[in-house]
Amino acid sequence: MSYTKRDLLRSATGLGLASALPAQAVELAEPGFDTIAEGKFKPNWKSFETDYQTPDWFRDAKFGIWAHWGPQCVPEAGDWYARNMYMQGSGSYKHFVDTYGHPADTGFMDLLPKWEAEHWNPDDLLDLYTKAGAKYFMAMANHHDNFDMYDSKFHDWNSTRIGPKKDIIGIWEKAARARGLRFGVSNHSAHAWHWFQTAYGYDPEGPRRGERYDAYKLNALDGKGKWWEGLDPKSFYGDPVMALPAGFDTITAANAWHELNDRVWDEKPPLNSPAFVRQWYLRCKDLIDSYKPDMVYFDNFDLPLGQVGLDITAHYYNASAQWNNGKVDAVVNIKPHGPFNGGVVADVERGSKSQIDERPWQTCTCIGQWHYNRRLYTEKKYLPAADVIHRLCDIVSKNGNLLLSVPVRADGSIDSEERRIVEEIAGWMARFGDAIYGTRPWRVFGEGPTQVGTGMFGERDQKSFTSEDIRFTTKDKALYAIPLGRPAGSVTIKSLSAREQRRVKRVEAAGHPAPLTFRQSDAGLVIDVPPAASHDFGLALKIFGVI
């Protein structure tokens, strides 16, 4: 792939899409900037599947924490606010109208200056996350709302110009690396071109029915004398490639149209907006080259936007080899649907797997909603620390990692409930983390009665684990058995019965120096666990002689 300045300008202006590229992008996209780094990876799946191996740092890390933080946290009203506030009848629409005004007068872009991050202390947060046992940290670089949280050369709508007026990604990156954490960035913006089309809609019912929302009305000239002077709203909202057609007169019909038309969720590039695709490539390459992340998470079911997703992945892998003396130390996450042959690390959003996967993988989940929602704090509905630990153990036993989002408020802080949960995670990890870090799966992942919520969003069906649910990991010729709850005096491990012909020589509890008494029979290995060696969330038993 090689686009010159002339190509970029011609493609944008020739299609009436000049707003999709900020003025300075044409000047900065010098020949060479938009080419793929040299190396063994070619921009195709065959090359990735043949030449890529997941780096050991990721396989050993097991646990990461994610700051899924941006301007959609301003309303403290949860996920997809920037899209749903333009859909009459939704909770986000009602919240916006009640709080900020009607979207024909005031739009989501008017919330950007309200994201000030005035109480953001990245050192404090990363100290807490390191204490909790995180070995990598992920920061959101942009969401579907198309706002870059970094010093973006190719998108003027970014956090150095608007809102915090800080290079959020750059500051996170320095703080993470200072603590020895691997650093990742998440990129969700490939879907902005269709996700944000609701901003061009209108109320199908009520006193202002038919009146188009702010994105449709505004152009660059309207910013004169305002906070967004010099900016073009359409380069933020995206061009109106599939705006709600005129004539809808019921909320039900209008929202059904949105669901069918502009909520598309495939990874094909938009044929009617090639300038968006080109700009996305330049923005993503700028993000990778400027901050040299160890991980890039794409919120996509395939690599994003067709060929440019392949291009950017080849560039990233080759660049990583250049940064690391020939070693590809990079991880790319996607959420594949259907057959998957490797080449990147698969992510299961809010779910697990039913069995051990021979390929390393990851679950991403959150103790609340992805964007901060105050209601979950006031109603005490966050995911408890015990559930986080139990899911971590289940995932690690199946060759996976857990990436946990701790929602951040618009001011840059986390609330007291979130801090308490992270502290409780820290308490368990400090005692039993040896059974997690650097481990590999055993011949079976575990045993016990509780069914696991598998697949994408499977955790919604997940029941609480019990002390009879046990997960296994291995390291240094030791087998770890982890009951997912406090055992009542003893633990029975059926997978280690005397019939298995594996004689147990010694059993210890992590963080408890004395050996534990045990007996092995046809029913299983029975281990006596004194109260001082245990924990309300469960414990890690270190077993010698069976590996």
Q: What is the pLDDT of residues 144-157, one digit of tens each?
A: 999 999 999 999 99
Per-residue pLDDT, averaged over 215-243, amounts to 96
Cα torsion 424, 429, 435, 441: sign: positive
Are 98 and 224 found together in one domain?
Answer: yes
Encoded tokens for 109: 């872009």
Query: Is 474 within the bounds of a domain?
Result: yes
**pLDDT > 90 fraction of the chain, expressed in percent and rounded:** 90
Are 336 and 482 found together in one domain?
Answer: no
* Domain boundary, last residue among 299, 328, 349: 349
Query: Is 411 within the bounds of a domain?
Result: no
Q: Counting every residue, how long is the chain?
A: 547
Q: What is the pLDDT of residues 285-319, one digit of tens each?
A: 999 999 999 999 999 999 999 999 999 999 999 99
Rounded mean pLDDT of the chain? Answer: 93
Are 75 and 193 found together in one domain?
Answer: yes
Over 60: is that where the pLDDT of 14 sits?
Answer: no
pLDDT given for residue 24 in this prediction = 44
Burial of 438 (0-12, 13-18, 19+ CB in 10 A): middle
What phi, psi does 169 have (nearest 5°)?
-65, -45
3-state secondary structure of 462: coil
Give the distance, in angstroms, between the CA of residue 524 and the centroid of all CA atoms in the same chain. 40
Q: What is the pLDDT of residues 28-51, one digit of tens each?
A: 455 567 789 999 999 999 999 999
Query: Is 386 within the bounds of a domain?
Result: no
Farthest-apart Cα atoms in the chain, separation: 82
Cα 526 from Cα 104, distance rounded (Å): 68
pLDDT given for residue 512 in this prediction = 84
Are 463 and 315 found together in one domain?
Answer: no
Query: Is 426 within the bounds of a domain?
Result: no
Q: What is the pLDDT of residues 238-264, one digit of tens each?
A: 999 999 999 999 999 999 999 999 999
The number of distinct structural domains making up the chain is 2
Residues ≥6 apart with Cβ < 8 Å to 53: 328
Whether residue 285 contacts residue 315, with contact meaning beta carbons closer than 8 Å, is answered with yes
Per-residue pLDDT, averaged over 425-441, amounts to 98
Over 80: is that where the pLDDT of 18 sits?
Answer: no
Over 70: is that where the pLDDT of 79 sits?
Answer: yes
Are 333 and 482 found together in one domain?
Answer: no
Residues ≥6 apart with Cβ < 8 Å to 175: 122, 123, 126
Give the distance, in angstroms, between the CA of residue 532 and the centroid of all CA atoms in the same chain. 37
Are 189 and 335 found together in one domain?
Answer: yes
Give the CATH number of the domain where residue 516 resides. 2.60.40.1180
Query: Is 430 within the bounds of a domain?
Result: no
Q: What is the pLDDT of residues 124-146, one digit of tens each?
A: 999 999 999 999 999 999 999 99
pLDDT given for residue 20 in this prediction = 40
Q: Output the 3-class SS for 102-154.
A: CCCCCCHHHHHHHCCCCCCCHHHHHHHHHHCCCCEEEEEEECCCCCECCCCCC
Domain hosting residue 332, numbered range: 5-349
Q: What is the pLDDT of residues 319-345, one digit of tens each?
A: 999 999 999 999 999 999 888 899 999
Give the CATH number of the domain where residue 41 resides. 3.20.20.80
* Domain boundary, last residue among 319, 349, 379: 349
Query: Is 355 within the bounds of a domain?
Result: no
Over 90: is that where the pLDDT of 5 sits?
Answer: no
Cα 454 from Cα 120, distance rounded (Å): 35
Are 344 and 464 found together in one domain?
Answer: no
Over 50: is that where the pLDDT of 235 sits?
Answer: yes
Query: Is 222 within the bounds of a domain?
Result: yes
Q: What is the pLDDT of residues 86-107, one digit of tens each?
A: 999 999 999 999 999 999 999 9
* Domain boundary, last residue among 315, 334, 349: 349
